[in-house]
Amino acid sequence: MINKKAEIVRVYLPPDTNTLLSVADHCLRSRNYVNVIVAGKQPALNYLSMDQAIAHCTRGLGIWPWASTTDGEPDVVLACAGDIPTLETLAAADLLRTHLPELKVRVINVVDIMRLEPDTEHPHGLSDLDFDSLFTADKPVIFAYHGYPWLIHRLTYRRNNHRNLHVRGYKEEGTTTTPFDMVMLNDLDRFHLVMDVIDRVPSIGTRAATLRQEMSDARLAARAYTREHGEDDPAISGWTWPGRD
C-alpha cells in the first residue's frame, strides 16, 4: 500500500484498544483515502486512557514519558510500531530501568507510520527538525516494527540519524508455536532488544557484559520452557507495566 500515491494512502498501527478505537473512528469518518489499520485480535494490554489515546493518535507518534527514564537528551531511543512490538519494547524498557537505571532511555511509539517520511514526500510526514527532536540526530535508535525492517529504512533513509537506526521486525521466521516464541524466532523479543541496546550504546561498554549474558540465557530459558510446557512462561506472558494494564 505504501507504494501508492502519498495523497491517498494512510497506514496506522495502534498499540492498544483505545488507540484502535481512535484510529477506527478517524478512518470511518474519512473520505477519499485508502486507510490501512494493522491490529491483532488477541487480548492485549492497555497503555493509554481514551483521552491520551486520542491525543497520541492525533500526533501520529510521540514520546511516552511514563515509559522513558529521561526528560532530556537520551542515551538511546527505543521506538516501536505495532501491538506486539510495543509490548516487547516496553518490557525491554522495564528491564533496562531495573538493570541499568543510569541509562537515559526515550520510548517513542508510532501509530501513523507515514509520519516517518519527510514532509516533502507525504502529507503526514515530519520535517527534519521535528524528526531530529524526537529521534535525535546522533543517538542509537532501536526500532521494533510489526512488519519487514526494510520498510522503516525506506521511509527514513534521508534522515540525519539513519546511520544509527537499527530495526527489528519480521524475518520470515515462524511456525506453529507460542506468541513469545514467535517473536524470539524473529529476534524481536524483549531480551534481544536489551542486547541490541547494550551492543549499540557506546557509553555502556563492557560493564554490561554480565547483563547481556543474562539476557541471552533468558532467551534460552524461555525457549526451553515453551518446548517443555507447550506454552509461554507465565512470567513473560503475564508481564504488565506497573500501573498500566
Nearest alpha-carbon partner for 85 in 104, 113, 115: 113
Instruction: Find all residues with CB under 8 Å of 153, minimum gap 6, and list them.
Output: 162, 165, 167
Question: β-strands 141-145, 165-168: how paired?
Answer: parallel
For the chain, the structural domain boundaries read 61-237
Q: What is the pLDDT of residues 50-81, one digit of tens each?
A: 999 999 999 999 999 999 999 999 999 999 99
Q: What is the pLDDT of residues 195-237, one digit of tens each?
A: 999 999 998 878 899 999 999 999 999 999 999 999 999 999 9
For residue 34, what are the β-bridge partners?
A: 9
Report d(CA 37, CA 3) in Å as an integer: 16
Report d(CA 102, CA 232) in Å as an integer: 31
Please tell me the predicted confidence (pLDDT) of residue 4.
80
For residue 36, what are the β-bridge partners?
A: 11
Question: β-strands 61-63, 105-110: how paired?
Answer: antiparallel
Q: What is the pLDDT of residues 78-124, one digit of tens each?
A: 999 999 999 999 999 999 999 999 999 999 999 999 999 999 988 99
User: Which residue matches cell numbers 550504546?
Assistant: 201
Question: What cell does 69 get?
Answer: 527514564
Where b means 16+ CB within 10 Å and e means fewer, 51-80 reads: ebbbebbeebbbbbeebbbeeeebbbbbbb
Q: Taking 60 as the threshold, does the pLDDT of residue 245 lie above it?
A: no
Q: What is the pLDDT of residues 147-197, one digit of tens each?
A: 999 999 999 999 999 999 999 999 887 777 888 999 999 999 999 999 999
- The pTM of the full predicted model, rounded to 2 decimals, is 0.94
Q: Taking 80 as the threshold, does the pLDDT of residue 8 lie above it?
A: yes
Report d(CA 15, CA 76) in Å as an integer: 21
CB 39 within 8 A of CB 83: yes
Task: Report the topology of domain 61-237.
Answer: Rossmann fold (3.40.50)
